[in-house]
């Protein structure tokens, strides 16, 4: 069952920055999905710190934690960030319609929704990718993690095929990068073969690890630190992508979906299997044709 936390402010929070005219004129929010099918990439660290950084820009922000471990949700439960949170694990196709309708309501309430995905293929991955304006893929520069990242990029390609006229903005976020890797230019050479936009790196910083342990965002835990600077550079890059990302077609259809009977949104139980006639068609396309 979904849980929620209302946004709460902390005295002494980072000052609000003026929002651009783009955000001032928005009537519907934007969705950023953060995920990788390889664990240990710093996904929740990116989600929470980026959410809090976006909130300092004067935007209303909500984190939707779809990971059963609920790391982001528990982090935000301390109430020290001006960010709301929802716990919404989606492990069955039969739960997706409720997730999508909730997402449709959240974009009417908040400027930005960040979705923290689990590190396994679930219906949440499919639905979040199809609803997202921006997809962020945290990835460490190790060869093993880059190989694992290629799996999630296959799903990104499927998303693009489903959204040919409104493709999401996609960016790899190098995480846990050490200075030696940057100095020897190992990062670009290792990540170039993924053929995706590479965002600003979030370097290996003790302050980020300490902030995680304290369940605080880096702007509160170590303001003006190098780790804080990395997050704010990432926030600027993501804000730029959000401003030029096209509207996901499925997001425009959510108001229509609300008017449908719940049963008409559900796939048959056999859709959760991999055999039979249903398997002859992409499960992404099977589910979203109704």
* Per-residue confidence (pLDDT) for residue 274, from 0 to 100: 40
Give residue 180's pLDDT.
Answer: 53
Report, as an integer, the average pLDDT of 179-197: 66
- Measured between alpha carbons, how far is 190 from 248 in angstroms, rounded to an integer? 31
Model confidence over 210-246: pLDDT tens digits? Answer: 998 888 999 999 999 999 999 999 999 999 999 999 9
Q: Do 20 and 59 form a contact (C-beta atoms < 8 A)? A: no
Where is pLDDT greater, at 113 or 267? 113
Q: Is the pLDDT of residue 280 over 80?
A: no
Radius of gyration (C-alpha) of the chain in whole angstroms: 19
- Residue 195: the pLDDT is 85
> Does residue 256 register a pLDDT over 60?
yes
Report the top-level CATH class of 25-260: alpha beta
Range from 76-85, 119-128, 251-260 carrying the lowest mean pLDDT: 251-260
Which pTM was predicted?
A: 0.82
d(CA 106, CA 35): 19
pLDDT digit string, tens, across residues 17-67: 555 655 566 668 999 999 887 777 889 999 999 999 999 988 999 999 988
The Cα 227–Cα 223 span in angstroms is: 9
Q: Which residue has the tokens 């929802």?
A: 86
pLDDT of 275 strictly over 60: no
Least confident of 19-28, 192-201, 229-238, 264-273: 264-273
Query: What mean pLDDT, rounded, does the chain reach?
Result: 77
């Amino acid at each position: 069952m979904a849980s929620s936390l209302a946004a709460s402010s902390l005295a002494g929070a980072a000052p609000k920055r003026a929002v651009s005219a783009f955000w001032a004129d928005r009537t519907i929010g934007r969705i950023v999905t953060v995920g990788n099918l390889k664990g240990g990439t710093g996904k929740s660290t990116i989600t929470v710190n980026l959410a809090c950084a976006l909130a300092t820009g004067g935007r209303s922000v909500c984190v939707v934690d779809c990971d059963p471990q609920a790391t982001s949700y528990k982090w935000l439960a301390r109430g020290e960030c001006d960010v709301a949170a929802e716990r919404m694990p989606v492990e069955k196709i039969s739960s997706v319609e409720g997730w999508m309708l909730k997402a449709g309501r959240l974009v009417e309430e908040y400027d930005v929704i960040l979705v923290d995905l689990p590190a396994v293929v679930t219906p949440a991955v499919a639905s979040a990718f199809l609803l997202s304006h921006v997809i962020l893929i945290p990835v460490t520069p190790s060869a093993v993690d880059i190989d694992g990242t290629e799996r999630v990029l296959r799903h990104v390609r499927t998303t693009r095929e489903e959204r040919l006229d409104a493709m999401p903005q996609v960016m790899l976020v190098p995480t846990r990068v050490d200075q030696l890797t940057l100095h020897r230019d190992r990062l670009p050479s290792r990540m170039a073969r993924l053929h995706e936009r590479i965002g600003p790196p979030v370097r290996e910083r003790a302050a980020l690890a300490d902030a995680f342990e304290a369940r605080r965002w880096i702007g509160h835990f170590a303001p003006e630190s190098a780790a804080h600077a990395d997050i704010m550079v990432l926030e600027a890059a993501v804000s730029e992508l959000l401003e030029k990302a096209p509207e996901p077609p499925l997001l425009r259809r959510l108001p229509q979906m609300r008017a449908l009977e719940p049963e008409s949104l559900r796939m048959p139980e056999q859709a959760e299997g991999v055999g039979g006639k249903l398997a002859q068609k992409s499960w992404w396309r099977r589910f979203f044709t109704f």
